Amino acid sequence: MSTPHEQPSADDAHETNDPVYAFLDTNLLLHFTMLDEVDWCQVLEVSAVCLVLAPIVIHEMNEHKDDSSNARRQRRARDVLRKLDALLPEAAGQEGSVRKGVTICELPRHPQLDWAATGLDPAQGDDRLIASMLQFQHDQPSAYVRLVTADGPLRRKARYHSLQAVDPEGRVPALPLTETAAEIENRKLKEEIRGLIHRTPQLQFGFCGQKGPVNRIEAPLPALKADPPTDEQISDEINKAQAKHLAILASVPTNVNAESVEQYVEKFRRYLEELERSRYSQRSQEFGPLCQLLFCLKNKGGAPATDVRISLEFPAHSFVFAQMDKDLYGTVDAPYEPIAAWKRPPRHPLAIDYSLPAIIPTLSHNPPAKRQGVLYDVEQRDMLYIEYQKVLQVYVQQVPLVIAYLPPTQQQGFTIRYQLRADELPEVVSQDLHVIWENP
């Protein structure tokens, strides 16, 4: 389809009494007097006018009708669509009466043309309106087609495609711009909300990047030792310890009281749990990939954040600690196997009981006052906790270097799940961080 080089003029339409087909754009319907209250014949200086609604205009009006972000525009779009329902006939493509000398019709089809040949972009609403006019002109070469729009760039684009355009300014009354009481109240509320947003913290957490936290990094995959213990081998060791425990319970002397037996059962239960955790942690530390990680916390809001708490969940059976705490938390400690009271040899009253489990200090998830930085739970060494009493606005808090030993199976990369809490945040922020191993 080619673009017409010359159109019949409005004077020709006036002389022949043929109607001028006036295409209306969305802004005209939204911001000017309702279309049935306008003397279109006088505006266009002709004796007959058919108002034409392109599919893109109806589409945009429906979008505005459902958009609650602008109450005035939404209300206006609904009013216009109700008016169109009253004026347009039930069958698409037919003309309905608006007033003396003025009819209206809705184009039932989107334009079917060679978009590349016309230089128009089907993703642009203005271009689709012009395309509908070109399609209409192609289907009805003798029709008098006009575009009525207050949009200067749109008028110029129409003329570039040899379509005549009319500016309604000064011809069609525009709607008053005064705000209603409800709109004034709504605007003030939005301003207050914007002010509150600027006075609240906005926290970002992730790996340290050049401009702040990022959620994805690449790291070289270190060389790994061969033949790590399998899950089955670790499970066999736990089962053997369990069998030993059951054999001891099966041979309890009759003179041992029930309380001693219960104490032993509880100690051995904790021992088995600690043994399993330690074996998986040892496997990760000896055979798994080592990754050094720098995290940072940025407050880009307008107010400090207080009582900031971040939990980091590494892949199961990882072994993690801060470099600064290596001496205290950087070694996997195997638990001591408890000895049943009735199996212990007689000992001196002042002798040390080495059968008792080692006492390892555990830093609570809710630490004592003024405790900050990296915290641990020795029963979950694949977890890490970070706490700060206050993070100032427009400030980046760097977390001490974290050392992570991953299970030997994590050879493609791994994901860290974090949850961030602060007194000022309405809800917990939960996101994933990704480490991708670089190809050697």
The SS3 of residue 394 is: coil
Task: Report which secondary-structure segment, H or E, holds 245.
Answer: helix 231-250
Q: Which residue has the higher pLDDT, 353 or 289?
A: 289
pLDDT tens-digit map of 151-163: 999 999 999 999 9
Q: Which residue has the higher pLDDT, 440 or 331?
A: 331
pTM, rounded to two decimals: 0.52
pLDDT tens-digit map of 24-68: 999 999 999 999 999 999 999 999 999 999 999 999 999 999 998
What is the band of 368 on the pLDDT scale with cuts at 50, 70, 90? very low
- Give me 304's structure tokens: 């400090």
Q: At CA 37, angle to CA 35 and CA 41, rounded to 5?
A: 80
Domains annotated for the chain, with CATH where assigned, are: 10-181 (3.40.50.1010), 203-438 (2.60.40.10)
Query: What pLDDT was estimated at residue 341?
Result: 85
pLDDT tens-digit map of 213-240: 999 999 888 888 999 999 999 999 999 9
387, 308 contact by CB (below 8 A): yes
Q: Closest Cα to residue 316, out of 408, 420, 237, 402? A: 408
Long-range interactions of 97-100: CB distance < 8 A, separation 24+: 98/35, 98/36, 98/40, 98/51, 99/36, 99/39
pLDDT tens-digit map of 122-157: 999 999 999 999 999 999 999 999 999 999 999 999
Q: C-alpha distances in angstroms, 75 versus 29, 31, 63, 302? A: 12, 12, 12, 35
What is the band of 393 on the pLDDT scale with cuts at 50, 70, 90? confident
pLDDT tens-digit map of 85-116: 999 998 877 899 999 999 999 999 999 989 98
Query: What pLDDT was estimated at residue 376?
Result: 81
